[in-house]
Amino acid sequence: MTSIDQLARGEPLQVERRREGARQAAARLEGAGVWMVIPCYRVTAHILRVIAKAPAWVEGIVCVDDACPEGSGDFIEANARDPRVCVVRLEKNQGVGGATLAGYAEAARRGGAILVKVDGDDQMDLGYMGPLVAPILLGEADYAKGNRFTSISHLRAMPTVRVLGNAVLSFASKVSTGYWNIFDPTNGFTAMEATVAKLVMEKRISRRFFFETDLLYHLSTLRAVVRDVPMPARYADEVSNLRISAVVGPFALKHLRNFIQRVLGQYFVRDFNAASLELVFGMFGILFGLGYAAHYVSSRVPGQVASAGVVMAAALPIILGAQLLLQALNFDVLNVPSRPIHPYLRTLARLQSEEA
């Protein structure tokens, strides 16, 4: 159709160009080995809609029945007409993490190259799946995840309590994982390169609600590159299985554990650099200053006023120690992984297969 015909019926040329661009992008995505992984637990009211919305270029859909009391696996096999669908059944409920990892394993076994995790409650807009897998296809990232906080308009559908809770969790995640460049760590709309997923599956990752955040921590130990993809929040009639009051304490302890393990592993086991020295002398300075002040207070004569020298002897090490710790923090922020690891892993796998 000519541009004159398009204008005559009120269709701007740029609209047709966008449609053509979308068709070309879909053609390029066909054959890219994209597989969907859907953990299924009490989602029989939504799962068929999720499957129906899967883009045509998705090669396979793995639905994981996580010992669902609604019999999700049987329901899908009886009602889903998409030939791309396969069902994996878990004998015991393993939580969203266990179900996702089981789906990763099945999709990778069937030849999946990029594994996209989608919740079964129809809360995720699958129209954003293309932007989600693009950083991996372009070799710019090993793992991509949604971020609902890139625009105020994206947050209009999100309850205020969730906005505040996600903001706090995001900062805690930055500290514990070392990915200072990402936000919204609990977003479950993710894509991972398959060779990276195979390494991750060997890790001891939390199987329950801490899964997404714990996964980021283990990706950081591999120095994998993580990329955020902007997308809006969507909420309808789905029922969340997560109670905030029940997870605040465990989440805080797990973040602290991951932070300590990450610092020790990254700056004292796998490497020793300027930040390592800043951490050692910074902590020593603060502890020395606090210890000196406590010793003086416990041993001084009642009513005796501390001299300027005593005050400086306690305060100066604390000030210098705090400055060194801030320098170490700055080093950590700049030390975010920037070089994807999956091209190396793919090359290594190809060489090993050729030798075999």
Q: Which of 48, 45, 98, 93 is nearest to 66 (CA)?
A: 93
Greater model confidence, 9 or 322: 322
Q: Whole-angstrom Cα distance, residue 253 to residue 259? A: 10
Q: Let me know if residue 198 belongs to a domain.
A: yes
Query: Are residue 56 and residue 181 in the same domain, yes or no?
Result: yes
pTM across the whole model = 0.85
Residue 190's domain is classified under what CATH number? 3.90.550.10
Please give the tally of structural domains in the chain: 2
Q: Are 258 and 276 contained in the same domain?
A: no
- Domain-embedded: residue 43: yes
What does the pLDDT look like over 52-79, one tens digit per residue?
Answer: 999 999 999 999 999 999 999 999 999 9
> Phi and psi dihedrals of 221, rounded to 5?
-70, -25
Q: CB neighbours (10 Å) of residue 84? A: 15
Asked if residue 23 is part of any domain, the answer here is: no
Residues 330 and 243 placed together within one structural domain of the fold: no
Mean pLDDT over residues 27-31, rounded? 74
Domain co-membership, 258 together with 323: no
Same domain for 147 and 243, yes or no, is yes
Based on the domain organization, do 221 and 288 belong to the same domain? no
Residue 244 lies in a domain: yes
Q: Is residue 20 part of a domain?
A: no
**From CA 256, how far away is CA 247, in angstroms rounded?**
14
Q: Domain check: are 106 and 135 in the same one?
A: yes
Q: Which of 238, 264, 290 is the last residue of a domain?
A: 264
Same domain for 153 and 256, yes or no, is yes
Residue 68 lies in a domain: yes
Whether 54 and 178 share a structural domain: yes
Q: pLDDT value at position 6?
A: 47
Q: Of 240, 264, 288, which residue is a domain's last?
A: 264
Report if residue 167 sits inside a domain: yes
Q: Is the Cα dihedral 219, 222, 228, 231 positive or negative?
A: negative
Residues facing residue 83 across a β-bridge: none
Residues 294 and 250 in one domain: no
Cα–Cα nearest to 54, from 136, 125, 106 = 125
Residue 21 lies in a domain: no
Is there a contact between 82 and 61 (Cβ–Cβ < 8 Å)? yes
Q: Residue holding tokens 């309850």?
A: 159
The span from the CA of 79 to the CA of 349, in Å, is: 38
Q: Using the 3D structure, point to which of 233, 264, 295 is the last residue of a domain.
A: 264
Do 230 and 82 lie in one domain? The reply is: yes
Q: pLDDT of 268-311, one tens digit each? A: 999 999 999 999 999 999 999 999 999 888 888 777 788 888 89
Same domain, 125 and 249: yes
Q: State yes or no: pLDDT of 2 exceeds 80.
A: no
**172-196: average pLDDT:** 94
Greater pLDDT, 346 or 24: 346
Contact 69, 37 (CB under 8 A): no
With H, G, I as helix, E, B as strand and everything else as coil, classify residue 64.
strand
Nearest to 204 by CA among 113, 119, 97: 97
Give backbone dihedrals phi and psi of 65, rounded to 5 degrees, phi first. -80, 105
Range of the domain at 349: 272-355
Tell me the backbone φ, ψ of residue 257, rounded to 5 degrees: -60, -45
State the pLDDT at residue 339.
Answer: 95
